[in-house]
Structure 1
Amino acid sequence: MTQSTTARAGRFHQGRLSDGRPQVLDAWRVTTDDADVAARVAGLLGGEPQPNEGGGGGGLAHKILTSRDSVRVIVDGPDAVAAHMVLWSSKGIVHECDGSQFLSPEEKKGQPCGCPPLLEDRKLAARDGRGPIPSVDLTFRMAAAPMLGKFHFTTSSWHVAAQFSDVTDALERIDGPAVCDLTMELVVYTTKTGRSVCYRKPVVTVLGSPGTVAPDLPLAAEPTPAPASSATRHKARRAPEPTRPSAPEPRHSVSVDAALLHRAAQVLGTGDHQDTVFAALSEIVAGPQQTTELARLREQVGRIAAIAEQALHGRDSSLT
């Protein structure tokens, strides 16, 4: 299945490029060329429309750094999810397939591509620069405002690639437009070397047909306090407990040098430099000693340029 070429009202991204470096965010970033769409997205998802100057987004003029890590969307059937595998070089695409057959170049189209059948083996080949990485494109409308048009989310996430057949099967069972949640799911775990790692992976959850699912995510209900006795109320009036305002939860992003991804995956015991190492490095760069270690690793790895080039030229559009 090839990628969709549908005209886009806008794009959803998990991160952005800042000074040439990828930054992974903890809430969706949206880009669009339409100022009215930007204002409407901001009203629904939080944030403020801003000029999109040098932050990635395919040249789209406006960006919104939203406050939502999950968005309810409408997906128009399995054809709205497109996936293929791509290997990039400095000269462009050198391998494009669907996991079993070549999609390009034309003279190889339809021939066996030679990719391993198991996902873990494909990940290892990609990490070593020998195999392609996923390119998955999801076309959808926002369930709360479908009239805005179609948005896209494009990613090279191995997790989304692993989800692909389950998602398309669920969409086929609904046999029509389906309401889904598009979520940046928080994952926390400890690597084999004992490092605590947190990162966000994109997840598509098929919920049901539009007539059976609410068009927007439900708000968390605040608990209703139990009625207080007269003695309790009297005590509260006489000696109110001082309260301290809770500190706002910090919003953070992770800045990563892409040339370190492959070596960092080996050191940290992670298997997917596209998803996991972005967040893992957020732990590593916390102190001067670790920063020095990263610099040392960078000097030691002579063949990392090809891996970094593949990762960046692969254009994981969740970042750009």
Structure 2
Amino acid sequence: MTEGIRSGTAVGSFWAEEERCGGRAVALPSWLLTTSNEEVAATVARLYGGQSRSRDRQQDLFELTLDNDAIAVNVDGPEAVVNRLVLQQVEEHAPIHVCDGFNFLQPMDNAGDPCGCPESVFDRKAAARSGRGPKPDARLAFRLAAAPDLVIFHLTSSTWEFSDSLSAAVAGMERGDNGAQMTISLQRKAVTTRSGMAVSYVRPILSVIQQEFAAPGQLRLAA
């Protein structure tokens, strides 16, 4: 897991989940685009299809639910990625534990020290569910492959699936300065619980299309 995404500005964000009451992240049925730029919203809707969502928060924020589950994106290098584990204070939403699964990343006084997280993914997930351990904070900065000169977008997810796919996808980029062309997609899965209840899951997934993509420059976005 790495630290990246430095100074700069993202004009829009893609979401596969959103925070509801109590700080709980809930999966969305389709990609949600949020942007304060009306022209950006119109362009994305033209490229991928989309319906405006009613806004009851910021009046200057455009929200679109998109029709496409899979979107090709250009990632300009390893600095376009943040993939870490974070435990926050419930009431203040302030991070009290930030690590890469093995060593602390923050606070700086503890950076590099063992974080004490379990070695197995199963135990890490169990600790996160109970509120005792950190959960993924995975972020990606990208440009749309269909409109590479448009703007830079962000995608943030707290799912283990996206964190795992992000780790695998950027492994090649960390060996050089080149970027990659990837696909962000929504993975749908239906399961039946022991009680017979049908439950469906929607998770964001990242996959590589072309590893040695010739990026025009490295992204600079604030974490």
Contact between 1:31 and 1:60, CA under 8 Å: does it hold in 2? no
Does the aligned pair in 1 maintain the 2:75–2:141 contact within 8 Å? yes
C-alpha contact (below 8 Å) 2:86/2:99 kept by paired residues: yes
CA positional deviation for 1:177: 2.8
Change (3 A) 1:197 1:169: same
Alpha-carbon distance in structure 1 between the residues aligned to 2:54 and 2:212? 34
Residue of structure 2 in register with 1:246 after alignment: none
Partner of 1:156: 158
- The gaps in structure 2 that reach 5 residues or longer are 214-223
SS at match of 1:54: coil
Tell me, yes or no, if the aligned pair for 1:51 and 1:61 is still in contact at 8 Å. Answer: no
After superposition, give the CA deviation of every residue in 1:88-143 in whole Å (9 maximum; x if it has no partner). 11242111111111122232222111011111111011111110111000111100
**Larger proportion of helix:** 1
Percent of aligned positions that are identical: 36
C-alpha distance in 1, partners of 2:132/2:179? 38
TM (norm. structure 1) is 0.58
Shift of the 148–16 alpha-carbon distance from structure 1 to 2, 3 Å rule, reads same
Letter in 1 for 2:63: K
Aligned position for 2:121: 119
Match of 1:244 in 2: none
Report the CA distance between 1:71 and its aligned residue: 0.9
Q: Which residue of 1 aligns with 2:36?
A: 33
Alpha-carbon distance between aligned partners in 1 of 2:209 and 2:137, rounded to the nearest angstrom: 24
Question: What's the CA shift for 1:49?
Answer: 4.9
Give the Å deviation of 1:70.
Answer: 1.4
Letter in 2 for 1:38: A
- Matching of residue 201 in structure 1 with residue 190 in structure 2: no
Higher relative contact order (CA 8 A, sep 6+): 2
User: Which residue matches 2:218?
Assistant: none
Q: 2:98 aligns with which of 89, 96, 99?
A: 96
Give secondary structure in 2 for the equivalent of 1:164. helix
Structure 1: 5+ residue runs without aligned partners? 212-320
Q: Is the 8 A contact 1:3 1:136 kept in 2?
A: no
Counterpart of 2:76 in structure 1: which amino acid? D
Match of 2:76 in 1: 76
Q: Secondary structure at the match of 1:147?
A: coil
Given that residues 174 and 209 in structure 1 are in contact (C-alpha distance below 8 angstroms), is that contact kept between their aligned partners in structure 2?
no
Bigger strand share: 2
1:2-151 equivalences under 5 Å are 2-5=3-6, 6-16=8-18, 24-49=27-52, 52-54=55-57, 61-89=61-89, 90-91=91-92, 92-151=94-153
- 2:78 and 2:179 in contact (8 A); partners too: no
Contact 1:171 1:206 in 2 (8 A): no
Q: Provide the C-alpha distance between the structure 1 equivalents of 2:125 and 2:25, rounded to a whole number of angstroms.
A: 21
Query: Which whole-Å CA distance do the structure 1 matches of 2:83 and 2:159 have between them?
Result: 11
Q: Secondary structure at the match of 1:166?
A: helix
Alignment deviations for residues 193-214 of structure 1 (CA, whole Å, 9 cap, x no partner): 4432211111101011588xxx
Tell me, what secondary structure is at the counterpart of 1:146? coil
What is the TM-score of this pair, normalised by structure 2?
Answer: 0.82
**Cα distance change on mapping 1:157 and 1:97 into 2, 3 Å:** same
Give, as a single letter, the amino acid of the residue that structure 2 aligns with 1:25: L
2:170 corresponds in structure 1 to 168
